Amino acid sequence: MRIVSWNVNGLRACVRKGFLDFLEASGADIVCLQEVRAFAHQLEPRVLAPNGWHANFSPAQRPGYSGVGIYSRRAPTRIETSLGDERFDAEGRMIIAHFGRKAVASVYFPKGSGRDRDNSRVPYKLDFYASVIDRLQTLRRRGPVFVAGDYNTAHAEIDLARPKQNTRTSGFLPEERAELSRWIEAGWVDTFRARHPGEPGHYTWWRQWGGARENNVGWRIDYVLASKSAARRVKDAFIWPEVTGSDHCPVGVDVAW
């Protein structure tokens, strides 16, 4: 079983750049999307219901903003999209597909920078982190849980090309990194780093100017975290920087389902 996660930076735009070809070529059984930025009625039938796939989405209330989705080869037994807090639910940032006792979440964690780049959204971002982990801590008591998505935080210096220049930038603030540490300390496993410890240069997002991607000046902010019981099933974890179509690249895991 292969689980892939990708912030597509607008699904309709990504479709024009070959998303459906990627979907078929990925070898994935579950594909988690973030930043879909579309309502279901705005998606073409071939995107809304590709042959051989079950598709579920949770859009934001605001048009052209945020939104998450999950494509799966097998129909989920249940779909969950609410954290029970209108502040978060209105932005369409989480969807959980249940497959019996197993669960896969696609989560788009907020940026903390705010419209004026003044880090004004950091409190909202940290509140969202806390709300999500509270839900998942309960969920993992039932069975294995994978949490795939754009976490919008680089955890350690190894996870971005220029850590010293970004200590005051949202995405690498001490309080944001501490929140990810809290997840790890609570038993959630960073599946990629568990298999590639100490390896620099692995990034999942690059700025769209200044040759950042070509020069690999990036950030690793997309993860698949796994509960302990889920982590034991992981056979491989990967990042696919060669896949284009977004300013992010896909990440994923191969698991014994």
Catalytic residues: 150
Which tokens sit at 202?
């692995």
Pairing of strands 189-190, 205-206: unpaired
3-state secondary structure at position 4: strand
Cβ-Cβ contacts under 8 Å for 104 (sequence gap 6 or more): 3, 30, 32, 70, 72, 96, 97, 145, 146, 148
| CB-based contact 170:176 (threshold 8 Å) | yes
End-to-end CA distance of the chain: 6
| CB-based contact 248:205 (threshold 8 Å) | yes
State the Cα–Cα distance between residues 19 and 36, nearest whole angstrom.
12
Following DSSP, what letter does each residue of 49-101 receive, concatenated?
S-TT-EEEEE--SSTTS--EEEEESSPPSEEE---S-HHHHTTT-EEEEEETT
Rounded alpha-carbon distances, angstroms, from residue 170 to 63, 123, 217, 242:
24, 11, 17, 26
Pairing of strands 222-226, 218-219: unpaired
**Cross-strand pairs, 221:** none
